[in-house]
């Protein structure tokens, strides 16, 4: 006899998931990987949580349905793989037990303003009353010490929680550590691979970050083993991707997003941030000049179905603020300060929405029968 995937699906439509009363196909629990080899049938069932109480009974009911409605000769027992969408978030995070949310700030390519956005987002969150920490993990160009006017800072060791810990530097209400504090600028770029990864792990796990609402990580641009290390080390709440509206930047932003959503990394993307969205001259405040193209990030966000969290114009003061160590977000009454306040509000709203409504998108195989 010949068995077809449709016959299997029809059988699975007769099985209801007790949690909702809907059938397995309707629930989207049957993965699109039904394999048929003679009488051998294999496929996977997708559950929300690895500890779903109905896993055993649903698998048993699915086996019975196939034997009943397709043929008693089908070899199905033990051939259904169970997968879970949600990896129970490693909580409390052993490395940062008192940190509520970890945000990775990333970009597809360098020079799009990732570090500027990270610094201003951190300051804007601190102004809104949150406890904020920032780790500058950009080994290719650690610029946070400069942006926070902390170039002279030399983090020291403190005795805390029964251990010797690195005390983060602090300015504008943001606790900050940078890989730049520990290596001189010109050799930072040589810190590839294990050395950089280990140094970053130390800056996370052996530092006195204390209680934080938001811990931001300014990642190196693009994709690297640093990204992998960090996602394997920390339960990252979500990533934001900074890009300019220019086509070449967007192409790299797209790659960045697919890295986060891919199987290896699997971090939810909180949204895109369009930096250098337009230029407005001080003497013509109504005019907007779209130097890098108009609304490129907005279109990409719509296409990829991720939120656009903010649009930041090109303004001389943003650049100057970075150079003199006074992020523009410190002044929430300016256009630029307002843009960063709005961005911070959107990031908080996204995280709160996710924390209350959505299961993390992490997908892991929990049992192989």
Q: Which of 280, 284, 349 is nearest to 317 (CA)?
A: 280
Question: Could you say whether residue 329 binds ligand ADP (CB under 6 A)?
Answer: no
DSSP-assigned letter for residue 165: E
- Choices 11-19, 112-120, 196-204, 259-267 (CB under 6 A): range interacting with ligand ADP: 112-120
* Nearest distance in Å: CB 139, ligand ADP: 12
Query: What are the residues whose beta carbons fall under 8 Å from the beta carbon of 296, sequence distance 6 or more?
Result: 243, 244, 245, 246, 247, 249, 250, 274
Which backbone phi and psi does 27 adopt, to 5 degrees? Answer: -75, -10
Check binding of 319 to ligand ADP (CB under 6 A). yes
Provide the 10 A C-beta neighbour count for residue 179.
24
Question: Shortest approach of ligand ADP to residue 336 CB, angstroms?
Answer: 8
Q: Which stretch binds ligand ADP (CB under 6 A): 10-18, 63-71, 111-119, 150-158?
A: 111-119
- According to CB under 6 A, which one of 24, 74, 112, 174 is a site residue for ligand ADP? 112
Select from 15, 27, 65, 114 the one that contacts ligand ADP (CB under 6 A): 114
Name the minimum Å distance from CB 115 to ligand ADP.
3
User: Roughly what angle, to the nearest 10 degrees, separates helices 296-304 and 247-261?
Assistant: 30
Number of residues that bind ligand ADP (CB under 6 A): 18
Q: Nearer Cβ to ligand ADP, position 178 or 275?
A: 275
CB of 257 to ligand ADP, least distance (A): 16
Residue 276 interacts with ligand ADP (CB under 6 A): yes or no:
yes
3-state helix, strand, coil in the chain (%, to 5): 35, 25, 40
Q: Give the torsion through C-alpha atoms of 316, 322, 324, 329, to 10 deg.
A: 80
Q: Does 81 bind ligand ADP (CB under 6 A)?
A: no
Q: How far is the CB of 206 from ligand ADP (least distance, A)?
A: 25
Give the residue, chosen from 142, 310, 322, 337, that forms a contact with ligand ADP under the rule CB under 6 A.
Answer: 322
**Nearer of residues 141 and 210 to ligand ADP, judged by Cβ:** 141
Per CB under 6 A, the list member of 314, 329, 347, 351 interacting with ligand ADP is 314
Residues 123, 125: Cα–Cα separation, whole Å: 5
- Minimal distance in Å, beta carbon 34 to ligand ADP? 45
Concatenated DSSP letters of 259-326: HHHSTTT---EEEEEEEEEEE--TT-TT--B-TT-SSHHHHHHHHHT--EEEEEEE-HHHHHHHHHT-
Half-sphere exposure of 311 (CA within 13 A, CB side): 17
- Rule CB under 6 A: which residues touch ligand ADP? 107, 110-116, 143, 221, 275-276, 312, 314-315, 318-319, 322
């Amino acid at each position: 006899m010949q068995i077809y995937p449709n016959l299997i699906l029809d059988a699975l439509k007769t099985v209801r998931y007790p949690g909702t009363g809907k059938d397995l196909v309707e629930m989207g629990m049957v993965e699109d990987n039904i394999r048929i080899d003679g009488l051998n049938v294999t496929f996977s069932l997708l559950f929300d949580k690895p500890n779903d109480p109905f896993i055993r009974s649903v698998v048993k009911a699915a086996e019975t349905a196939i034997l009943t409605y397709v043929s008693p000769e089908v070899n199905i027992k033990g051939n259904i793989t169970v997968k879970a969408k949600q990896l129970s978030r490693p909580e409390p995070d052993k490395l940062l037990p008192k940190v509520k949310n970890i945000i990775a700030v990333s970009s597809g390519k360098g020079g799009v303003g990732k570090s500027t956005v990270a610094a201003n987002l951190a300051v804007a969150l601190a102004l809104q009353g949150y406890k904020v920490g920032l780790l500058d993990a950009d080994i290719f160009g650690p610029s946070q010490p400069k942006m926070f006017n902390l170039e002279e800072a030399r983090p020291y060791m403190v005795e805390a929680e029964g251990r010797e810990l690195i005390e983060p530097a602090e300015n504008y209400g943001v606790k900050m550590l940078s890989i730049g504090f520990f290596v001189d600028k010109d050799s930072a770029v040589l810190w590839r691979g294990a050395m950089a990864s280990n140094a970053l792990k130390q800056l996370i796990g052996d530092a006195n970050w204390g209680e934080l609402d938001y811990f931001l990580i300014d990642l190196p641009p693009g994709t690297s083993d640093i990204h992998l290390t960090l996602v394997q080390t920390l339960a990252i709440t979500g990533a934001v991707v900074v890009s300019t509206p220019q086509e070449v930047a967007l192409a790299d932003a797209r790659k960045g997003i697919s890295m986060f959503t891919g199987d290896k990394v699997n971090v939810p993307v909180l949204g895109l941030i369009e930096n250098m969205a337009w230029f407005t001259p001080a003497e013509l405040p109504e005019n907007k000049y779209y130097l890098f193209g108009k609304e490129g990030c907005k279109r990409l966000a719509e296409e990829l179905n991720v939120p656009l969290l903010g649009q930041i114009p090109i303004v001389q003061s943003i650049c100057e603020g970075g150079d003199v160590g006074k992020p523009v977000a410190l002044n929430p009454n300016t256009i630029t300060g307002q843009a960063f306040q709005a961005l911070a509000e959107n990031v908080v709203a996204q995280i709160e929405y996710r924390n209350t409504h959505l299961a993390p998108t992490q997908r892991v195989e929990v049992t192989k029968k």
